[in-house]
Amino acid sequence: MLATILTVLSIIVIVSTLVPLLRIDHWFIRSFDFLFVQLTILTLLTATTWVFVPVFTTLQYVLVALLTIVIFFRLWVIFPYIKLASKKVLDAVDGECLKILSANVLMYNENYEGFLKIVTDKDPDILLVVEADQKWLEGISKSMEKKFAYNLLHPLDNTYGMLLFSKFELKNSEVRFLVGEHVPSFKAIFTLNSGQDIQFFGLHPKPPSPSENKTSTPRDAELIMVGREAKIGDLPVIVAGDMNDVAWSHTSRLFIRLSGLLDPRMGRGFFNTYHAKYPFLRWPLDHIFLSHHFKILKMELLNNFNSDHFPIYVELAFAPSLEAKINTEKPDLDDRNEAADKLNQVR
In tens, the pLDDT along 122-141 reads 999 999 999 999 999 999 99
- In this structure, the answer to whether residues 301 and 278 fall within a common structural domain is yes
* φ, ψ dihedrals at 66, nearest 5°: -65, -40
- In this structure, the answer to whether residues 335 and 280 fall within a common structural domain is yes
- In this structure, the answer to whether residues 176 and 322 fall within a common structural domain is yes
Domain end (from 57, 81, 105) = 81
Question: What's the pTM?
Answer: 0.93
Query: How far apart are the C-alpha atoms of 10 and 43, rounded to whole Å?
Result: 7
- In this structure, the answer to whether residues 107 and 13 fall within a common structural domain is no
pLDDT of 165 higher than 90: yes
CATH number at residue 158: 3.60.10.10
Which residue did the predictor score with more confidence, 53 or 89?
89
- In this structure, the answer to whether residues 173 and 66 fall within a common structural domain is no
Any domain includes 280: yes
Instruction: Label residue 23 by pLDDT band (50, 70, 90).
Output: confident
* Packing angle of the helix pair 217-232, 333-346 (nearest 10 deg): 120
Any domain includes 91: no
Query: How far apart are the C-alpha atoms of 133 and 161, rounded to whole Å?
Result: 6
Query: How far apart are the C-alpha atoms of 155 and 122, rounded to whole Å?
Result: 23
Q: How many CB atoms lie within 10 A of CB 19?
A: 12
Domain end (from 81, 114, 133) = 81
- In this structure, the answer to whether residues 67 and 139 fall within a common structural domain is no
List pLDDT tens digits, range 231-258.
Answer: 998 899 999 999 999 999 999 999 999 9
Question: Would you give the distance in Å from CA 296 to the centre of its chain?
Answer: 17
Any domain includes 241: yes
Any domain includes 173: yes
Any domain includes 157: yes
Under a CB-based contact definition with an 8 Å cutoff, are residues 262 and 327 in contact?
yes
Average pLDDT of the chain, as a whole number: 93
Count of structural domains, the chain: 2
Structural domain boundaries, residue 55: 2-81
pLDDT value of residue 226: 97
Which residue did the predictor score with more confidence, 347 or 316?
316
- In this structure, the answer to whether residues 220 and 313 fall within a common structural domain is yes
Any domain includes 86: no
Any domain includes 152: yes
Instruction: Label residue 301 by pLDDT band (50, 70, 90).
Output: very high
Domain end (from 46, 81, 116) = 81
- In this structure, the answer to whether residues 31 and 163 fall within a common structural domain is no
